[in-house]
Structure 1
Amino acid sequence: MKLVILDRDGVINQDRDDFVKSVDEWVALPRSLEAIANLTQDGWHVVVATNQSGIGRGYFDMAALNAMHEKMHRLVGQAGGRIDAIFICPHTANDKCGCRKPLPGMVHDIIERFNVRAEGLPLVGDSLRDLEAVAAVGGQPILVRTGKGEKTLAAGNLPEGTLVFDTLFDAAAHLIATC
């Protein structure tokens, strides 16, 4: 099974320093929906793994998050794609949970649920924590320059073997061409 994990904010949709808190604030990045459609049409299973500490901080609730994800599913579907599952961590860093990236808890849960191998499993993210979460299990970290990606790249210290692309569309094209 071909499976790719995508971070949400900064990869699929625009990120905000004050958190994406509502349906209106959830705005897809250019060609990100097309990228997911291309992956789907090439036989990939697409899973989103996203830290959403805005819930733990009280900035928005599960109803608002569900509404954002319903919008994302609808727009991806209209583009001809599919998101197979969304895994979230609603905790803050102070909660010290195992599911908050950079810890690999969500990645482990995805591996178990979809019965895929960790080795080489691609995760596309825009922050070091995304890359570290998949690198911890032997997966393939992929950085995009959107969202926080440029800052992440400039800071260095990327996990060994990290691939870098301008956008999710470019990363998806690479996965389709090489897998």
Structure 2
Amino acid sequence: MSHSRRFVLIDRDGTINVEKHYLSAPEQIVLIPGVAAALRRLREAGFGIAIITNQSGIARGYFDLARLNAIHARLNELLAAEGAAVDGIYICPHGPDDDCACRKPLPGMAEQAMAEHGFDPKLSTVIGDKEVDVELGQAIGAATFLVRTGHGETYAATSKADHVVADLPAAVAIILGEPA
């Protein structure tokens, strides 16, 4: 595994798919416009992609791991239909009071992805619609993007992100060094 491969760690809800309150069924997954094409272009440019997502709905009993796996199978299907794929999906199934090491902004999911894929966090990028995503990126030394989709507008004015952008495709254009 090459240690030079750059990874992009991306939040799921509100960043890749349209935000739904505790999304709990595969048919609720709707990709944000342009996301699949943007992910495909990242892969074509040689980037690794990992989704990192807090899923406290499991701890809260709203759905179980089997249902979450079905949701992610559907997400992978929708991406594949547009020629896109991700290297891994990392989840935190815990609630805010579970004292785990993986719930964003803690770096557990990113560390798991690094262990499996052997990439340098300082050459990586974290993209999400909440400040916990930005804080996770800062914790591992990655570049950070806050998108205005999902909950992003709530955080945009005060975000400590390196970049505040309209959406995931806008973030990818910057990562790939494309003219605005």
TM-score (norm 1): 0.92
1:7 has 2:11 as partner = yes
Instruction: Trace 1:65-76 onto structure 2 (pairs within 5 A).
Output: 65-76=68-79
Q: Deviations over 1:37-66 (max 9, x none)?
A: 111122111110000001110111112111
Distance 2:59 2:120 in 1: 31
Instruction: Output the aligned Cα RMSD.
Output: 1.3
Counterpart check, 1:87 vs 2:90: yes
Matches within 5 A, 1:2-151: 2-16=6-20, 18-151=21-154
* Mapped partners of 1:81, 1:93: distance in 2: 32
- Residue identity opposite 1:169 in structure 2: P
Aligned length: 174
Q: Deviations over 1:73-126 (max 9, x none)?
A: 111111111111000000000101010001111112222221111214201000
What is the distance in 1 between the residues matched to 2:177 and 2:76? 25
Distance 2:41 2:32 in 1: 15
Residues in 1 aligned to 2:43 and 2:124: alpha-carbon distance in whole angstroms: 16
Q: Which amino acid aligns with 1:174?
A: I
Q: Which amino acid aligns with 2:58?
A: I
Runs ≥4 residues deviating over 3 A: none
CA contact (8 A) 2:7 2:123 kept: no
Structure 2 SS opposite 1:76: helix
Percent identical: 37
Asked if 1:174 is matched to 2:174, the reply is yes
Structure 1 gap ranges (5+): none
**Conservation of the 8 A alpha-carbon contact between 1:41 and 1:81:** no
Q: Which amino acid aligns with 2:109?
A: M
Amino acid at match of 1:77: A
Which TM-score applies when normalising by structure 2?
0.92
